[in-house]
Amino acid sequence: MTASHVSPTPIAIYDTTLRDGSQGEGVSFSLQDKLNIAQRLAEIGIDFIEGGYPLSNEKDVAFFEKVRDLDLGNSKVCAFGMTRRRSMKAEDDPGMRALVAAGTPCCTMVGKTWDYHATEVLRVTLDENLAMIGESAEFLARHSEVLYDAEHFFDGYKANPKYAIETLRAAASAGAKWMVLCDTNGGSLPEEIAAITTAAREGLADYDVQFGIHCHNDSELAVANSLTALDAGATQVQGTINGIGERCGNVDLIAIIANLSLKKPNYEVLGGRPLTQLTELSRFVYETANLQWRGNQPFVGQSAFAHKGGMHVHAINKAAKTYEHIDPALVGNERRILVSELSGRSNIEAVAGKHNLGEDKELMNKILAEVVRLENQGYQFESATASFDLLIKRVSGTFKPHFETIKYRIVAGDRDVENHVAFAEAIIKLKVGDTLWFDAAEGHGPVNALDAGLRKALTGAYPQLGEVSLIDYKVRVVDSASGTAASIRVNIESTDGKETWGTIGVSDNIIEASWRALVDSVEYKLHRESAVSQPVVAQSVGS
């Protein structure tokens, strides 16, 4: 059999988002969150799903009960725990009993493999630590498949190689099937990972066990270290979706899966499934954890395939692989062409393509000149593509406003004394065709009131605006040196439940900047649907 026909080595993906990931600052999953994430992980083909530590809290106990009702396919649920306590039999230890009671097909048991940790933290002798590992593994192996997480293995090996190997042998001789080598402090380098993983495999050559790798990212090397361990013979990677976790996080399984599947043909992950749901999974976990997406996250970030420099875009238009290491569609992502003062005509042509403007170079130059002018005032169109679409229409002469602003006024700071609640009121006067529309609305602040008042004043003429809601609002001072007279940039994100779009407004008045972004949001919705004003027979007066 030639090398080109050797079957790829299956690499097991072990996800600990629900346990190790939940230890990240600001991360807290509800029971339903954990069940939803487990279902998504199983759908993409994750081999092992670690659900939590059943002795630590009632939520994890409930998770192991509820997860039995889910169809997780071939994914194995793991309960996580520690070795028995010192001076206690494994069968009498509450932690051991909790792992068995979880009823999972796998149990992951963490033990101390660093002699310093055993003597100084656990306060046990080295022989007692070996007994704790062996007896715990033997007890759990009667009930489930055992994975031994060798905590601080790389630090332990550097300090005392012989003893670190002995801890692995204690677990293997008692029935553990996986030896997971943990870079718990995240301080090891790839060359150390390679050498020590190889030594560990040689030290257990007489046992029928497999090896895994569990890296933390304190040195920004978790992905590199994990891939290095696989090349040294490990066949399982432990980590979390998006790398969330304590301190600097864990290895990002998104990057691991993508690299193994798309760049290392000698390995196979997820049973060979396509990765078109990878971006969706990443963003689902971010949303569930109530965390902001990491825009520059490799493979799945919004900026992973975003191009801004004119020279880059010119090349991308001719040959995408000149500035893209993979086709973004392979991981469910998409290419984005950004427009700014750094752009060339190629950027404008790429983004304006959907407007069917042909190859009008003079028009493209006018659009670029307008972008440069506005960005000099503080505009930034990278996250305001809807405003950029309207800019193209204005410069090309195809923009037809659906309404005219006559005036607006904000009354803010009034207080409901009895309930100690401050509120704001917006009074809006607009003109749609030949008809005046006048309305007012209250809000939790001036921008909320403006948003409500604008849509309220227009829904009589454009009822589809009832579908629109504001989902994000950001303010940034463009020129802080000017103090309170500085220009303000407002970015607004809106949705109608089917599409989400961003708009921008800039002014030295935060209300005016917000109004411009809100007007663009409404105009974008109406232009996108080619909305036509309904007949109006009388002036609208609302409250």
- Domain layout of the chain by residue ranges: 9-273, 407-461
Buried/exposed 38-58: b ≥16 CB within 10 Å, e otherwise: bebbbebbbbbbbbbbbbeee
* CATH 2.60.15.10 for domain 9-273: no
pLDDT, position 338 = 62
pLDDT above 90 (res 456) = no
Taking Cα atoms as reference points, which of 49, 39, 105 lies closest to residue 69? 39
Which of 152-161, 298-307, 350-359, 480-489 tops mean pLDDT?
152-161
- In DSSP terms, 180 is beta-bridged to 149, 212
Check residue 350 and give its pLDDT.
Answer: 60
More confident residue, 384 or 247: 247
Neighbours of 343 (CB within 10 A): 24
Instruction: Name the nearest CA neighbour of 204 among 179, 221, 230.
Output: 179
Q: pLDDT above 90 covers what percent of the chain?
A: 54
432 phi and psi, to 5 degrees?
Answer: -115, 110
Cβ(32)–Cβ(45) under 8 Å? no
Per-residue pLDDT at 356 exceeds 80: no
Torsion of CA 423, 424, 425, 428, to 10 degrees: -150
pTM over 0.75: no
Give the per-residue pLDDT at 310: 56
Report the pLDDT value the prediction gives residue 320, as an integer from 0 to 100. 62
pLDDT band at 539, cuts 50/70/90?
very low
Residue 155: predicted pLDDT: 96
Mean pLDDT, the chain, rounded, equals 87
